[in-house]
Amino acid sequence: MPEPLDRPDWPWLSQRAGTDPDGPAIVWEKRTISFRDLAQKVETIAGKISALGVRAGDRIALLMDSSLRMVEVIHAAQRCGATLVPLNTRLSAAEIEALLIDADPRLLLYDLQRAESVSQLRSQLSTLRFVEAYRDLDAAAAISPPGLSSLDLSAIHTILYSSGTTGTPKGVMLTHANHWASASASRAHLGIEPNDRWLLMLPLYHVGGLSIVLRSVIDGVPFHLHPDFNPARANAALRAEKITLVSVVSTMLLRMLDENGGERYPGTLRCVLLGGGPIPEALVRRAIELGAPVAQTYGLTEAASQVATAMVGDSRVRPRSCGRPLSGIKLKLGSPDASGRGEIQVNGPTVMAGYFRQHGAGIAALRDGWLHTGDIGHFDCDGFLYIDDRRSDLIVTGGENVYPAEVENVLLAHPAVAEAAVYGVVDSQWGQRVAAAVVVRDGFETEAALLREWCENRLARFKLPKTIDFLEALPRTASGKIKRYLLRQNGDPVPRLRGTAHR
């Protein structure tokens, strides 16, 4: 059975390669890479990155699809003492540019699939060094990477950008200590078994995917890496590769169950971590009946992934609960109402160091030693957590977060739009879909297709409104706040100026 590492302050892959050199680290494209081979490759890449001018404390931005090379760079950054800034590859070029300006990295590593986006960025970011992660990096000269030394656990390991309620992205700063504590808490909950192996299909630019890469080395558990999510390929891997652990969002699990055609999952699968947004009770029950041992989980980027997770057996009795807090993590509810619902607050070693270059936002989120999540939840009499509202107005579609204000700002920039409200509606495939209601300026005319085209040039596709309603006025409170719940309701409680426009 693999033994967890015992030194958080020493480069993790170097430790693992020393204690378990022949152990399997990654299965990529039917090829198994040992911890020794991975460490040797990472040492070379660390030397090349150093030769490109990266020094301890510098930032390296990544614009890459999930791949063995991205895993190598993730470990190489720690080897060099650099900070990772993984970027969502689904963002538009304009969105990526804004993040790069904010992060101010030493270099950007990108893959060939991002070449077109990068070509648009080069002229705008002339001082940034662009390095293609395969051809350019392989051809680069190498120097000896910095000598191995202990890690400063308070140093920033990763900056992960998460959109805020104002529509302004915020860089969540996670330290080495945060990631180590998250791996330890997850291990205490899930345990380690002799034949454990993860199936990793979540993007590595999300904390859910990145956490498995780091946890694998810390715990000594291999993972099978897929470049993207394909339900048929996922089901085949669960059957043929004796996968024991997999992490998915609701949309992924739904598509896997549909593709599986009623066939039961193998007994080797011992846990399906299910998170990333609203979890339909019917989906949990359906998965359990087909032998998929679901464990719902609640987590967030600001707490380095999992905060509370159900035990597999809990799901039959409490299909809507995400379990109890993980070891070392404290949860409480701020200002609970008469029904016991309040803002979820988190305390513990996994909580972020703050937001990059947004000290005020960090102070607002981290008050009195507690992370104020903005999520609304409640506990039952046995201490099980239930999520009632996902950061109030947050839309979670296919595991991706969409904040209404960001989409509203784009709609309001259109000359014909006087007012705009964006909200999520339940969707059987994606969990939620983005919907919008707009008020057109006097003397102007427009239609849904034109507004969609306007948004397409400014937003990632998953943020685009799938439906657009035209209203005479938005429903508001006396203080002027939009009553989004009226827009979400069935039964058309708000008069539409014209029929719902779909695309």
Written as one string, the DSSP assignment of 98-123 is: HHHHHH--SEEEE-GGGHHHHHHHHT
pLDDT band at residue 478 under the 50/70/90 scheme: very low
Say how far apart CA 419 and CA 399 lie, in whole Å: 28
pLDDT exceeds cutoff 70 at 166: no
Region of poorest pLDDT, from 46-60, 64-78, 94-108, 480-494? 480-494
Alpha carbons 445 and 441: distance in angstroms, whole number: 8
Which pair of tokens denotes residue 492? 């058309």
Decide: residue 467, CB within 10 A, 0-12 exposed, 13-18 middle, 19+ buried. Answer: middle
- pLDDT, one tens digit per residue, over 107-129 is 999 999 999 889 889 878 888 99
The torsion angles phi and psi of 34, rounded to 5 degrees, stand at -80, 165
Read off the pLDDT of residues 14-53 as tens digits, 9 standing for 90 and up.
999 999 999 999 999 999 999 999 999 999 999 999 999 9
What does the alpha-carbon distance between residue 98 and residue 169 come to, in Å, rounded to a whole number? 9
Least confident of 134-138, 322-326, 394-398: 394-398
> pLDDT tens-digit profile of 136-164?
999 999 899 888 889 999 999 999 998 54
pLDDT band at 499 (very low <50, low <70, confident <90, very high): very low
Q: Are 475 and 482 in contact (CB under 8 A)?
A: yes
Structure letter (DSSP) for residue 476: B
Distances (CA, A) of 371 to 98, 218, 333, 344, 395: 26, 26, 11, 8, 21
Residue matched to tokens 């879909």? 433
Has residue 291 got a pLDDT over 60?
A: yes
Q: Which residues of 53-91 are buried (b: 16+ CB within 10 A; e: fewer)?
A: ebeeebbbbbbbbbbbbbbbbbbbbbbbbbbbbbbbbeb
Q: Please state, as a whole number, how many other Cβ atoms lie within 10 Å of the Cβ of residue 453.
A: 11
The one-letter amino acid at 65: D
Phi then psi for 145, rounded to 5 degrees?
-65, 165
Length of the chain: 503
pLDDT computed for residue 363 by the predictor: 79
* Residue among 45, 50, 102 at smallest CA distance from 76: 45
Is 386 within 8 Å of 379 (Cβ atoms)?
yes
Backbone angles phi, psi at 366, to 5 degrees: -110, 95
Which positions ≥6 away from 180 have C-beta within 8 Å? 8, 153, 218
pLDDT in tens, 449-471: 999 999 998 999 999 999 999 99
- What's the pLDDT score for residue 61? 98
Asked whether the beta carbons of 175 and 155 are under 8 A apart, the reply is yes
Q: For 394, which DSSP code?
A: -
Is residue 288 pLDDT above 60, yes or no?
yes
- Cβ(42)–Cβ(75) below 8 Å: yes
List, in order of start, the domains of the chain with CATH numbers: 17-22+34-149 (3.40.50.980), 395-502 (3.30.300.30)
Whether 251 shows a pLDDT value over 70: the answer reads yes
Q: What is the mean pLDDT of residues 249-266?
A: 92
Residue position matching structure tokens 């080069």: 122
Radius of gyration of the chain (CA): 23
Q: State pLDDT tens for residues 436-447.
A: 999 998 888 899
Is the CB of residue 408 less than 8 Å from the CB of residue 417?
no
pLDDT band at 332 (very low <50, low <70, confident <90, very high): very high
Mean pLDDT, residues 352-366 taken together: 87
CB 425 within 8 A of CB 413: no
Flag whether pLDDT at 283 surpasses 80. Answer: yes
Please tell me the distance from the alpha carbon of residue 179 to that of residue 185, in angstroms, as a whole number. 10
